[in-house]
A and B are shown apart, each in its own frame.
Chain A
Amino acid sequence: MRRPTGYAMLVDPWARVQECDTFTCAHCQRIVFVKPGASASDCGGWCGQCAKPICGPCAGKGACTPFLKKLEQYERGRRAGLD
């Protein structure tokens, strides 16, 4: 994966330090660990509409629902409910 969006590090006193790239699913924000050399589709999928990597479950849905759009709708809904 050329453009990971995160990095994870595991320090264990009885093992070597393990480092791993991660990406955050653009549709649900799940953090996905990327194996070295893996393509986006190996880690889940690639959304052609929002041009971002997505996790396996979201890739299986086959629809583009960016998380930030869902977040805005949620915030609007909650504000409307309070009015």
Chain B
Amino acid sequence: MARYAAEVNRTAGAGLTVGSVVADGTTPHRGKLYDLVMGSEATPADNAFNWIVGRVTAAGTSTAVTAIALDPADAAALADVGENHTVEPTYTANQTLLSISLNQRATFRWVAYPGGELVYPATAANGLGVKTPTASAVVVSATLHFDEQ
């Protein structure tokens, strides 16, 4: 079991998804998201965002992000992390795991204790996505910490 961190960004005017982490297509491994930080680095303004973490069953098309191993002795992550989606991931209907509405100026962090992580299956291209379905006009970013089994 190794732990990884990845920062995902969505530039202004791009799709609604900020980033996603999915099991690899050829060697899928189960993973657990245990830490999530969400916010905006844009010039402060009063925009409203609804942030949603959902399950995805297809990764869509995105810019690949290299997840950093928290322990440098660990091998590179097998999971595929993506940002700046040009084709949205396929979100599973009625599978909203976290939904929170925030002002653009706010930063939100969620941390899971052992046993409370969001688990994604060892199935190709299945995983978790973070999106702001109500607005895409501002640069936003999220940091995902996950472990891979």
Q: Which residues of A contact B (CB under 8 A)?
A: 4-14, 22-24, 28-31, 67-68, 71, 74-75, 78-79
Minimum CB–CB distance from B34 to chain A (whole Å) comes to 9
Known: A11-B107, A31-B97. A5 touches B112 (CB 8 A): yes
Known: A10-B108, A12-B103, A31-B110. A74 touches B115 (CB 8 A): no
Residues of chain B lying within 8 A (CB to CB) of residue A75: 30, 121-123
Q: Which of A7, A10, A67, A74 contacts B111 (CB 8 A)?
A: A7
Known: A6-B110, A11-B106, A29-B97. A78 touches B123 (CB 8 A): yes
Residues of chain A lying within 8 A (CB to CB) of residue B123: 74-75, 78-79
Q: Which of B117, B121, B122 contacts A24 (CB 8 A)?
A: B117
Contacts A/B (CB < 8 Å), 24 sampled: A4-B116, A5-B116, A6-B111, A6-B112, A8-B108, A8-B111, A9-B110, A10-B106, A10-B108, A11-B107, A12-B106, A13-B106, A24-B115, A24-B116, A24-B118, A29-B97, A30-B98, A31-B53, A31-B97, A31-B110, A74-B121, A75-B30, A78-B124, A79-B123
Assembled-state Cα–Cα distance A80/B105 (Å): 47
> What range describes how many residues of B lie at the interface?
20 to 34
Which 7 A-B residue pairings sit nearest by Cβ, starting from the closest?
A: A5-B116, A24-B116, A12-B106, A31-B98, A6-B116, A6-B112, A11-B107
Residues of chain B lying within 8 A (CB to CB) of residue A71: 30, 119, 121
Known pairs A6-B111, A10-B102, A31-B97; list 7 more (Cβ under 8 Å). A5-B113, A9-B110, A11-B108, A74-B121, A75-B121, A78-B121, A78-B123
Across the two chains, which residue of chain B brings its CB closest to A67? B119
Residues of chain B lying within 8 A (CB to CB) of residue A6: 110-113, 116
Known: A29-B118, A30-B96. A9 touches B113 (CB 8 A): no
Residues of chain A lying within 8 A (CB to CB) of residue B97: 29-31
